[in-house]
Amino acid sequence: MIGTTPVAEGHTLTIEQAAEVLQCDTDTAAVRFNSGELPGVKFGRRWVIPAPAFFKRLNELALEEAERRRNQLAEERAAAAARAKSPQAISVREPAAARGRKRQPLPVLPQLPNAVSRGVPA
């Protein structure tokens, strides 16, 4: 039952009822019907939506979207596994001498005053 109108085999829905089922604004639902993504017939200014066709298409869309999400997840997992197995994935840096460069000498640091003279206990 949608709102106060029972939906049974062979009944039709209004755009408002379809929007209620989809939990969206009527304008959003109208865009989907206008694009042909959802089944409906426009008589004048009103949409008449066969309930069985609407729910059948809604089920098809849900299954298609679930399949698309599963495929995307599988592709992401395969790409991650390929990156993990790739020799380029392990970043090993060559020593400086192997790259043809000498190491820079460490800088000479100034001597710090004795800690006791600064009032810091040893």
pTM of the model: 0.56
Dihedrals φ, ψ of 41, to 5°?
-125, 130
pLDDT one-digit tens code per residue, 36-50: 999 999 989 899 999
Q: In what order do the strands lie in the sheet with 41-43?
A: 12-13, 46-50, 41-43
**What's the average model confidence in pLDDT over 43-66?**
94
- Please, what is the average pLDDT of the chain? 81
- 2 or 10: which carries more pLDDT confidence? 10
End-to-end CA distance of the chain: 82
Phi-psi region of 44 (alpha: psi -120 to 50; beta: other; left: phi over 0): left
